[in-house]
Structure 1
Amino acid sequence: MVALQADTLTSESAAAVPVLLAAQHDGWVELTLNRPERLNAFTEELHRALASALDAAADDACRAVLITGAGRGFCAGQDLGDRAKAEGPLDLGATIEAFYNPLVRRIRALRKPVVCAVNGVAAGAGANIAFACDIVLAARSAKFIQAFAKIGLVPDSGGTFFLPRLVGDARARALMLLAEPVSAERAEQWGLIWKAVDDTALLGEARALTANLASQPTQGLALTKQALNASAGNALDAQLDLERDLQREAGRTPDYREGVAAFMEKRPARFSGRRA
């Protein structure tokens, strides 16, 4: 839950503004972290707003989610200024249990694709929450930083789970122990993210990608996501059995029938995303 060093952040305006913006589109929602003066660093208020928005996105009418940040950065992790206000010894484990772990679990468990558009620096938990999403696009100017070592903390928000699986043990260890920034282009080369795009094209491409996902067979994508989530902890036999069971479920959806009909009739499929 680490943020960038405090001197990189400016003071927040006293004016009351929403810490999260939610824009409804046709079948999908765009969620924008909206604390640009603090590089969208997390506070309890932002955590609660994002949790509520993701819970609302679980509705079947929403078939995909896009998460991005306002201003010049995606997310600087935890707002250290928010922590400085606490009295007495801090229990950072309690903060993780109450906010960061539930956020990662919500993203991974959501039965629809979650796209992340990283528009600037993603540090500490900000980087790891991006990696928890299903597809990550980043502006070429973006950087990913495992900033925890800079202030004597341990990577959290799933970082020690996601990074070794994405880039291998050697790179994950160096990234976490050295806290060196990784450019968007290097992140793409290493397989940390899906794609690096020009800064001016980021939001347009991310929106087009999310809109396309929202038009696809949502239940099949949800079951694919479920299989991928389970694969890291399964032996081959268990994963084969899971694929069988999920394929059985997918084969009973209206979108499977529509997909086959569209193929046979040589026309574009019109997927509804319905469960039954």
Structure 2
Amino acid sequence: MGGVLSRHIEGAVEAGQWGSGSQIERDLILTDADFTRIRELIYQRAGIVLAEHKREMVYSRLAKRLRHHGLTRFSDYLSRLERQPDAKEWEAFTNALTTNLTAFFREAHHFPLLADHIREKRDPVRIWCAAASTGEEPYSIAMTLLETLGSRAAQARVIATDIDTDALNKARAGVYPQEQVRKLDDVRVKRFFQKGTGRHDGLARIRPEVSSLVEFLPLNLLAPQWAIKGSFDAIFCRNIMIYFDKETQSKILRRFAPLMKPDGILFAGHSENFSYISDAFKLRGQTVYNLAKK
């Protein structure tokens, strides 16, 4: 889903038409009815709300799945999905329609707040990153744990979940382009990354002392049961709620509350505001929340 969620869903057009009738060539047939079905299915499956204008990328992403199966009509692909509710293809369908925009230490003001919150903790620190994407966010959390807790960080854990299994596989590998890593300061780069050489030139890998703190798990925030247990010192749920409607956001926030320690912190994305969605949390600062007192 934290985070949902470098690809943006941009929408697809009905084959041969766009807008008021201008013609473009399409080798696959996507009707308005097909697009409506896609919007319904991804909402039911993952809670993602696809706006009407998000059509071009839907065509682009799912066209790859149709070609993989030798199909030419989206209606045939969708019918096949609906006939097989437990098919592996549902995973590919969902992966194609999730967004994975992320970076190391994105929304940097959150990490000093996290450090201050955990610095004096004596019990093992547990943090949930609920939209892990390709791993940059949970690894940033793990680096903060190491910098703040020193040797005590070995007992800490970051549970990193996402609905996108392709993104999670990249996250587990922990390998990133060096130009992405160079955006960090030199001290962090030297301490937390291994520079690739030979056929790995131009790449950097997360060091084991960082990756050992993070456990990656597939998880759908809409699932009736979550395969994780509290209690967490902090939950990062950043830039994923914007893809859900208000009712879904409220349900998820209510489920977060009992998984947090009484002084736990919830970190939201820069464009998210939970104050008017749930009374379970109160605003503490810029996109940072505490549990509301009962």
Q: When the two structures are superposed, what TM-score results if normalisation uses the length of structure 2?
A: 0.28
Q: When the two structures are superposed, what TM-score results if normalisation uses the length of structure 1?
A: 0.29
- Rg comparison, structure with higher value: 2
Where is the helix percentage greater, Structure 1 or Structure 2? Answer: 1
Q: Greater RCO between the two (CA within 8 Å, min separation 6)? A: 2
